[in-house]
Every structure is written in C-alpha cells, then in structure tokens.
Structure 1
Amino acid sequence: MESTAFLEELKALTSQEDVISAGREVNELNARFEDYVIEEERKLQIAQLDAEEKGEEIPENLELLQLKEAFKEELRAFREKRKTLVDAKNAEESTNLAKKRTLINKLRETIQNEENIGAAFGALKEIQESWKEIGDIPREKRDEIQTEYSRLIEDFFYNINIYKQLKDHDLKRNTQMKQEVIEKLKTLSGLASVKEIEHQLKALQNDWEDIGPVSNDEWELLKDEYWKAVHACYTKINTHYEEQRAVLTKNLEAKQELLNTITAVVAAIPETTDLKFWEETTGKILHFQEDWKKIGFGPRKENEEIWLLFRAQCDRFFELKKEFFGDIQQEFDKIAEKKKELIAKANELKESTDWKNTANQLVQLQKRWKEIGNAGQRNEQRLWKQFRGACDVFFDNRQKHFEAADAEFETNLAAKNDIIGKINAYVIPEDKKQALNDLKQFASDFNAVGKVPMKQKDTVYNAFKTALDKHYAELKLEGDEKNKVMFQARLDTLAGSPDSGRLFAREKADLRKRIDQLNHDILQLENNLGFFAKSKGADALKKEVEKKIEKAKDEIVAIRQKIKLIPNE
C-alpha cells in the first residue's frame, strides 16, 4: 500500500455518515499503519547506520514524520466524531428507554384500571404504535424491557375478556404467523454474522409482539418454542463476544510474555561487547518484532499500553547498538594513526640504496603492520595502498639495480626455452603417478636453471605454466588436487629465484591480505543478515548471502593450506 493510501482510507472512513460501525475498520487500519511506520523506521535506522559507517550525511524521513502527524490528526478527528455519535446514540437510547418505561406503565395502568374493552383496545393500539416508533434502547436493558412488555401484552389479552369476541379464524391465523416467526428465529443461529443475527432478532421479536393472541391451549407451547429459539440466538451472540474477549486476553498474554523476554534480553546487555554479540542479539530483536506482528489485537486500552512498552525496549536496544559502533570506530581511528606512522617510515626508506638492510627494515614494518590489526573499512584499504606503494618504490628500484646483470641470464633463457620445448613435446603416459613425477621433474629442472632477463621472465614463466597446464589438463585433475599441484608448481618456480625470500614473503603477505579481506567480507555479510525482514523476497536474499559466506570460508581454508606450503626463507 502506498504511504498516502493509509491517510486517504482514514479520511474516507471519517467522512462517512455512520462512523460508529467503522470503528473496527479504523482500528485495523491504525494497526496496519503502525506496522508500516515500524518497517519504515527500521529501514531508516538501517540507512542511518550505513550512512554513519560510510561517513555520509545521515538521512531523515521528513515525509514519514509528516504522514504520522497527519494520520494522528485525522485519527483524532475520527475518534472525536465517533465519540460524539456514540454519546448521542447513548443519550437517544436512554431517552428511548424512558419512553418505553412510560409506555409500560401506561399499559399496566390500562390493564389494571380500564374496564371498557373498546377504550382498552384503543389504548393498546396507541401504545403498540408508539412502541414501534421508538428506536433502540441500551443492550443490557433490552431483554428486561422486552420481557416485561411481552408479559403485560399477555396480561392484557388474558385479563381483559376479549378472547370471547375473537373469531377462531383469527386465533388460527395468529398461531400460524407466530409459528412462522419461530421458524425464522430457528434459522438465525445458523447465520455467520453476529451483527446480522442481532438485527434480525430484534425485528422478529417486534413481529412476534405485533401478532395477536392465540388459543390458550396452544399459547404455552408456542411461547416455549419462541423463547427457546430466542435464547438460542442470544446464546450464540453471547458466546461470540465471550470468545472474542478470550482471544483478546490470550493475545495480550502472548504480548506480555514477549515483552518480558525482550526486556530481559535488553537488560542483560553487558558493558563489554563485541561485533558478534551485536550481530546475534540484533537477530533476536528482529525475530521478536516479527513474532509481535503475528500476534493479534488485545483489549484496546491494554493493547496500546503494552505496544508502547515493547517499542521502548526495541528503541533502547538500537540506541545501545549505535553507541557501540560509535565507540568501535574510535578504536579503528587509533589503529589508523599508528599505521600512518608506519607509512611515514616507509616513505623515509623508499629511496634508500642499501638494498639488504632496507629490505629487512621494510619487512619488519610489514610485520608490524599486521600486528597492529585492522583499521576498519573506512581506513584500511586507503592506508594499505599508501604503505604498499612506498614499499613497492624501494623494491622496484632494487629490481632495476639488478637488471644490469641480466645479460648473463640469456643462457638461462635459452635453457629454459629448451625445457619448455621438451615439456611441449612430452607425451603423457598411462601411469598417472609417473606423469606427475615427470612434470615435477620438468619444474625442478626449470627452476634449477636460474634467472632469466627481467623482461622475459613473465613470458617464459607463462609459456612454462601453459605447457605444464596443458599436460595437467590431460591428466584431468580436478578440484583441490589440481589447485595443490599448480600452486606447488608456482612455488617451485619462485624457489629458483635469487630473491626467493622476498617473493615468498610477498606471496604470504598477499595471501594473508586476501584472508583479511575475506574475513572482513564475512563480517559485513553476517552483519547484513540481521537486517533482513522475514518475507518471501528477504528469505531468498538471505540464502544467497549465506552461500557467499560459506564460499568465502572455504576459500580461507584453501588459502591457509597454501600458506603452509610456502617455505620459511
């Protein structure tokens, strides 16, 4: 539903003439509107947390605030209008009650004092016509007044000796008409709508009273059947309202239990927490909110009061969570300052030509970088690029220094190309183990040759790797076996370099950096899981995120296995 549709629907209900009967519709609309506001505020909280984390401007939803005020004002107008009509209706019913009591007193006086049959019938007719014209009276007095009026009508016909003048045809006709009323009354209890039962019951009771007398022999039986049918209707009506009260009470008890649970969870939040705690507890709070939505209405007054208490606990939790993430960002900023100091030292060393000592110092700085820890999403990637850039300047300069000696590597280049030619000409034997040993020997021979000119090293290595990959593909290696063999081949290649120590260290650093990135991604994905609503679309997205998490964890395991294969040089 569009946000403005709530207000338009409420205005339509307020503008209709009979707002009393629209009370339940308005309560249901108000509940749906509150659910909508809760969902929008939850989305806004998520957007605000995300904006705060990214350092962006914190968004606001002024439109929602305006809509809430407009809806609240319109709801107040509806309730005032309805109260006015209810008060008027109650006043009218009280007036009607007084009128009916006056008619009853008049009928009683007629029965007791009027001896003229014609005058008595005239008075009765006037009383009956006035009785029909009088509208509703208070529900709790209806049965009492109707019973007394019926009894007096009976007394009238029995006490005034009029039955002698009535024709037998009229008595039989009245009997038939009363039997028809009884049959209609019997069908009422089968109706689904209690309001319809009440409406028709009142009309049929009026019809019963308007019908004239029947013979004394038939009266008691008809009267018993009539009241039996009437009482059956009242039993269904009373049962309906009792069941409604029971459901409302049960719903209130369920909400109270949920309120007690969330209150205990919020009260038990320790002073010292971590990211995992907030992720898990956020999931619980969101689950409590979903459970609350599934519970139906409670009694009107208590329902509003308990909702305010529940919402206050939710607000308290998210306030504490916001404070925590504000504190942890301060810790990230402190780590960032320490890493800036390492960047400054790396910049001081990057132009040094003391290749060995400077390389050792930079390696120590890299170790220190890892020991300090992660500086958070806002800082880590930016600072790492600066630090890595300063280190690369030195190592690139050192590499250029040694390029002058590349001439002697031409022989190595020819030897490695010769080995590549042998690999390309190699025919895979049927013995898979023999084939793997031969390919490993090719790699060993290739690495033993030594360095080639810098400009050709990638080309030679790629040609070497391509030749080996072709044979590995022929072996139809799959999964972990292939990855392990290919990674070992790469390590064998790096081992043949004079600078293997740095290359191995760099290989480890890159792999560990990849682990850090994956752990960060997992943390972000798991945190996002706590904000998904339990709808059909949200469940599908949640499963997709969970698959990404498992995939990242599997990759971390594989990378750690690779790190173990790298020599410590």
Structure 2
Amino acid sequence: MSEEVNKNQEAENLQNEAEKKSESTEKQELNRESTDQENKDQASEESKLESEAKSEDSSESSTLEAETTKKSSKIDSADANEQDSPSDAVADSDSTETSQPEPNQTTKNATDELDEANAEDSEDEDVSKRHEIELKDYDSMSLDELVIEIEKLLSNEKIQSIREHVTQIKIAFDKKFNEIIEEKKEAFIEEGGNIIDFQYTSPVKKKFNSIYFDYREKRDQYYNQLKKNLNQNLKERLSIIEELKNMIGAGESMNSTFQHFKDLQERWKNAGPIPKSEYRQVWENYHFHVERFYDFLHLDREFRDLDFKHNLDQKLKLISRAEELIKEDDINRAFRELQLLHKMWKEELGPVAREFREEIWEKFSHATQQIHDKRQAYFEELDKEREKNLAVKEEVIEEIRKIADQEVTSHNDAQTKIKNIEKLREIFFKAGKVPRKDMDEIWNAFKKHTRTFNRKKNAFYKNLKQDQFENLKKKLDLIEVAEEHKDSEDFETTTPLMKKIQDQWKEIGHVPRKDSDKIWKKFKNACNHYFNRLHSKKNEDLDEEFKAFLAKKDLINKVKSAQLPDNKDESLKTIEGFIEEWGEIGAVPRNKKYIEGKFNKTLDQLFKKTGVEKKEAELLKYESRLHDLDEGSERDINREVFFIRKKIDETKDNINQFENNLQFFSSTDDSNPLVKEVKDKIERYRDELSMWKTKLDKLNQL
C-alpha cells in the first residue's frame, strides 16, 4: 500500500507540474494561434531553412530511422513467435485491442492538431518562453521600426524563441521594401533606363540584412547542435524500447522486473526531445511495448492492478482538468494546457484496466473536441473582427484609386497627391490583419492602384524634365548676359538691364535639380558683382553730392548778403554769376533737393530789387538747371523734356477750359468781376505757356 501511496503522490506531482506549465502561457498574445495557422500558408525562406536544419538526417540518423521503421513494421508480430512463456498467448490476444479506441473523424482532427503541436514542441526544450514573447503587428511598422524590433529580439531573447517573430518581421520588411523597389524600377525605366542596369539599395536595407545574417548564423549554429542532440535522444529512446521489449521472459523476479520497468519509464521521461518526424512513430512503438508489458503482468495481478489503478486515477484527474478548461475564457491558454495534458496522457502515464480504456478515452476526447470547437469559434470570431480592418483597407484602396484615376497637372499637384498617398499607405498598414481569405485580393488591389498613381506621377515628371531642360537653356542665356555686363561702367544703361534679367530669371521656372544650385550661384555672383560696384559708385557720388550741398548752402548765404550795383546791367551780370557758380557746384543728394527752392526764392528777391520781369527772371534761373542737365545724362534730359511738354499740355488745357467758361457768360464785359477774373487767369496761363515753350526751345538746343 505504501507503494500505491507513492504512486499517487507521484501522479499528483505530475498534475501540479502540468498546472504550473500551463500558467506560463497566460502572457501570450490572443493572435498567437491565428498566426500559427497563417504561418503554415506563408512559409518563408527562413522557416524552410530552419526546418531543414531540424529534419536533415546525418548518416547516423538515417540508420536510426531505418531501425525505427523496421521495428514499427514488426509491431503486430513482435514476439508472436516466442514460445518461452505462457504469457505470450495472453500478449497476442490483448495486443489486438489498443489502449484507446479509434476516434471518429471530427475527434481525430482535434487530437491530430494536438499531436502535431506536441510533435513540433518536442524539438524545443524552451517552448514556453517562445509563447511568452509578444507578437506585435509588424505590418503596421515602418522599415526603421522593423529593424529596431529584430535587433532588440536578437539582443534580448534566445535564438530558438524568436523564429516566428523574425519570420513575420522579414515578411513585413520584404513586402514594404519590394514595393519601394517596384516604384524605383518603374521610374528608372520610364526615364529611359535599361532594366539590366537597374540597382537600388538603402542604409535601412543594409542594416536589416546585416542583422538578419547574424540571426541566421546563430540560428544555424543552434539547430546544428540541436540536430545532434535530437538524434542522440532518439538513439536513447530506441534503446529504451529495445530493453522494454527484451524484458518479457527474461526470467527475473517479478519485483525486479517491475522495478526495471519503472527505471525505464523514468529514463524515457528524461530522455529529451527527438526529431519531429520521428515523434509519433517512436511514441506508438514505445506505447505498444508498455501495454504488452502490462499484459505480461497478468501473472502477478497485484503489480498490474496497482499500476492500472494509479494510471486510472491520474487520467481521471487529466479528464477533470480538461473539462475545467472548457470554461476557460482565455482560448489560447486553454489550448496550450490541453496540449500539456495530452502529452502527459501519452508520454507519462501508462494504460488502465481494459474495462475503463474506452470510457475514459471517450471522456477525454469529448473534452478535447469541445475545446477544439471553442477554439475554432474563436478564430471565426477573430475573422469577424478582422472584417472591420478589411473595411478600413477597402476604403483606403478606394481613396487611392480616386487619386490614381486623376491626371497630375503640376508639380504642386504631384506633391499634394504624393503626401495624400503616403498618409493612406500609413493608414493601410496600421489597419491590422484582414481575414486570410481576403489577404491576397486586398494586397493585389492596393499594389495595383498605388502603381497606377506612380506611373502617372513618373510620366508627369518625365515630361516636366523636358521643360526643365528648356528652362535651363534660357537661364544659361541670362547668365551669359549677366557676366557680359557685370563690369560695365555705363551704370545708367546697364542697371535697368540687370534688373530686367533678374525678373526674367524668376519667371522662367524650374530646371533639373542637379543643375539648379550650380547655375543659380553663377547668376547670383555675376549680379552681385555688378550691383556691389553700383552701390560703391553711388556711395562715392553721395559723398560728392553732400559736399555740393554744403557749397550751395554757403552760396545762398553769400547771395543773401550780396550788395548789387546801382546799374541794372551790372546787377544782372552779378546775378548771372551767382547762377553760373550754382550750376558749377554740381548735383546734391536727392533728399536735399529742397535747397533748389531756397536758391530760387533768394534770386527772386534780387530780381525784384533789380526790376527784372518775372519771365526774364524765370529764364535766367533756368540757366542753372540747363547747366546741370548738360553735365548729366541723356536720360535726365529726356525726363526734363517730358516734364516740360506735360506742363505745356496742362497749360493749354487750362486756357481752353477758361475760354470755354467765358461762353457761359451773357456778357464778356470786364465790368463783371467774374469775367475779369477768368480773363486774368487766361492771360497768366498764356504767359506760363510762353515761358514753358521758351524752356523747351533751350532744352532742344542741348
């Protein structure tokens, strides 16, 4: 009985271990299981390489596999011909019924899924750690973010725990980078490039390749060592099966035989993982010989029944826990723990009495099927949630289509559309996963309309480049003009020309980007060279003009204090001398022009003292203006001519206006004060007209 207690205690420890293992799955992401299914359809080069690293057989493993196949093919007849013990007859009759009945197809699908998961995990001693690492939405990340994520995983996690994460990161990175390459390739071809010469890379791609290369090296090292370990473990398990097979009829005492059997069970439990491809066959082979050993124990029913009871108790606990898992809200946690329960059922517990075998297996299978159905319903509900993501992505694609259907009309229009497309692309990638059945269709539609826009954009810029080459030629012509005149001394003529070509430069438009800075610098340097010279000249002139202003100011004071001779002719000569001296002094700064008015008022007082008529005095004063014009440029003379002609026209208009006004009076007699006022104004305007005409004649003489 103490042995039975020990066995029950051992079973309870196993149960506690299963519960402890199941708790480690609570941190996994809800989308982990859906990702497991999707990865079956999206096997990347990385996962293939890993699979090859795991399943590639050396000459040693080939021999082991052949041995396993040979042994499994002889299971039904194993020891059938042995005649050493009456137990053989019992073994033959009992071996016709397996430890668990043949399940129906629905239940078989559920158990096969668990067997497949356990077989895969049998190669990984750290499977719980793999499920605890967060699986993020890598599709929504940028290229830089994906590089940061894979670098972080490689630095912080075990290499065997990140396979699934790295695979999804690489799929997302390649998808986005390949799209960029397609865009660059189309632009290259449309610009006239040969596809053979096309090359494109980027710093982010180089960095990703470097990190991924490091990952593959570490992964290959790990799996090469793992392959050796798996094959060694396989050899150990086959050896255990062989010992188990040879125990029957060995002639040892029952106590010794049973203890040997328990030792083999313990060795089997600690033998370690084996290749996935061998998992099912090796376990079935082992399980067959375990059942055969229990049938052999009919000679000592005390040992057999005691162990049957222990196994029954433990399997009932597993069934009870499986039924509790049906109510578990965390579907992924329930599946992972159910996976552990199946592993304990098959690998750690032996058979039960024949009358209980079918009943307990049906209960266990029924609970398994319910969890499986609940899990399938969860995936269906997950797809319904992803329908919302699908709707978002369909809206994004429709917006991209609308933009792609429009023609690009200008550079600003192209840039606006590019920004809008980029925003829509960001929304598309961050929208999340869509149902698997829609993945290819939605991605192809996205690529189709994006490429349509890119083709139109590239075609627009191709045509725009033709215009830019023409603009380049026009600007080069302006540079030639600027450099030809930058050292000109004829500032009056060259300054308007330089300002004009600057305005033309602004109106021409864009040139090819590679030439833009170069030609702008040449043009700017030529213009700056000229205008710096112009400003320097103006500064010199300003200094001279300010000196002239001071001299003219002194002259005004001199004129004011002058004593004129009593003789009129002598007085006029003195005044004309002042006027000539004024003209010889030169021009004054523009903001000092008011000094001309002061000089004229001073002269008017002298003319008044001398008794000179107003018209004669005005013409004498104009002599100084003529002197300035004679010293100035032709442009100044033309401006003065335009001014006087304008005054002549205005004066004529005033005369005509007042003459017309006289017609409205019934009498033109001077006795009417209004008539007299009008006639006086007409007379003044005629005097002014005569004066302006005289000034124009003098100007024409210049």
Q: Structure 1 length normalisation: TM-score?
A: 0.42
Larger Rg computed on CA atoms: 2
The structure whose RCO (Cα within 8 Å, separation 6+) is larger is 2
Q: Structure 2 length normalisation: TM-score?
A: 0.35
